[in-house]
Amino acid sequence: MRIIIGGAGRVGTELARALRAEEMDVVLVDYDSRAVKNAQNLDVLVIHGDLTKRQKLNEAGIGEAEVFVAATNSDERNLIACALAEHAHYEFGGKKAKPLLSICRVRDMNYIDEQKRGHLTKWAKVNHAVNPLDGAIRRLHTGLRSSSIEEVIPFGHDAYIIEFDVTKNAEHLVFKTLSEASKSIDGGIPLIVGVKREGEKSIVPDGDFMLMPNDVIAVATTGLSSFNRILNIFGHEAIDFPMNPKVAIIGANKIGQLIAENWLMNGAHVTVIERDLQMANNLSGSSIGSHPNLEIIHGDHLDRDILTEVGIPDNHIAIAALESDHESIAAALLASDMGVQRTGLLLYDADLVKVTQRMGITFAVDRKRVAVDNILAHIHTKAAGAYAVLSNVPNIVGISMRIDDAHKFANKRIADAGFPDWMRIAFIQRETVDGYWETLRPSPEKTILSNDRLIIFCSPDRVSDLERRFKV
């Protein structure tokens, strides 16, 4: 399948790398010569040119493409490119052209609202508009529950993948096979869907795999309350998270407002600190401005006296949501220095995520990485809405597949379904009689029902095999 990606920035190049790992035919287009040069090390065709030019799209093979992704830093350029790509696809592809899936990355939330109303599909031929902010906020919320978690990926309906290292304190687990270690743990060892060992390739482990200290693992779990138990099992000290935490949010911009709304919905007491009076007033007049658990403070977030006055050390969490990554980092570090135990960031620059962890920031989310995951989910249209590339366990991906009556393993036990060893079922998601979805832990005795969603982990080069198995 040919996939054309417009934009060779971080999102475009990471997307291209992930798709090439699945052996897709990828073409990357960018008018910035520096970005093109930086992308030359990828095993893809890289074209220097403007993706809003018809002939450049033809050079990229738009007539044969099945997917077009506009992922530049300009919302307007992306929308124009999608509209042009649709027209050029049928112009150059002729009657034999397959339908084109068009995915547009946007930053302005107003465009998401337009897409929900169907306008972008009508005006710009956009099938999916992607803004990762909502998913990034959910990841941040979840990741701040523990200082030991390096990454958390929500898969909906109370399902999570958490990534962290195995410590030497896990004496009952290390230097034992997973099968052996499971016998020493009440309820068995948590399901590990991926392992990365320094100097070795990431794998999906089986029962004969032996854990060692410093292994980085990805664990599947249901419910936030399970985090501490899992971390304790693998040698981490876990601190209970308060039921109604006090959360300080630095910045009353759109991002800060969305973060505040997220925490308020989950029972937190929220204080927003904003140095710009107009922006603080805008938040006061917003839909959440009158919430009884919200306090809005107009003041400088880098002024220790002001932070002391508003009781910043009394907060369980401080989150910096400023437009500048560097300003956000400075604000979070100051809050930490004044006694806040858990600090969080939403970052534009992926390179800063690891840096901030070494600085002592509790949890940081790479927004562009969330964008890549969202786009991949749309490309894999057979997926039931979820797709993720593990962050600290590279070359392991999770994909959601829907069960149909026509599948030969429908209405069979997992033990009898004949699934290969190279894949691991992390979750079974099932719709209840009242229309809600629940997440079940897989076991050999569990029966797979029609309309179930299986969250499956495997290496990227197996994704095409996986999709063939689920083809009906």
Assigned CATH for 396-469: 3.30.70.1450
Give the per-residue pLDDT at 383: 53
For 98-148, what is each residue's pLDDT tens digit? 999 999 999 888 898 899 899 999 999 999 999 888 889 989 999 998 778
Q: Tell me the pLDDT tens digit for each residue of 144-192.
A: 987 788 899 988 889 999 999 999 999 989 999 999 999 988 888 999 9
What residues are paired with 222 via a beta bridge? 159
Per-position DSSP letters for 336-397, written without gaps between them: HHTT-SEEEEEES-THHHHHHHHHT-SEEEEHHHHHHHHHHHHHSTTEEEEEEE-SSSTT-E
Same fold? 148-233, 396-469: yes
Q: Decide which of 1.10.8.50, 3.40.50.720, 3.40.1160.10, 3.20.20.140 is the CATH code for 2-131.
A: 3.40.50.720
Q: What is the mean pLDDT of residues 416-421?
A: 93
pLDDT of residue 348: 86
Using CB atoms within 10 Å of the CB of residue 391, give its burial: 0 to 12 exposed, 13 to 18 middle, 19+ buried: buried
Q: pTM of the prediction?
A: 0.81
Tell me: the pLDDT tens digits for 265-323?
999 999 999 999 999 999 999 999 999 999 999 999 999 999 999 999 999 999 998 98
Top CATH class of 148-233 equals alpha beta
Q: Which contacts qualify for 428-437: CB closer than 8 Å, 24 or more apart?
A: 428/452, 428/453, 428/454, 428/455, 429/155, 429/156, 429/157, 429/159, 429/384, 429/400, 429/453, 429/454, 429/455, 437/156, 437/157
CATH superfamily of the 246-370 domain:
NAD(P)-binding Rossmann-like Domain (3.40.50.720)
Q: Where along the chain do its domains lie? A: 2-131, 148-233, 246-370, 396-469
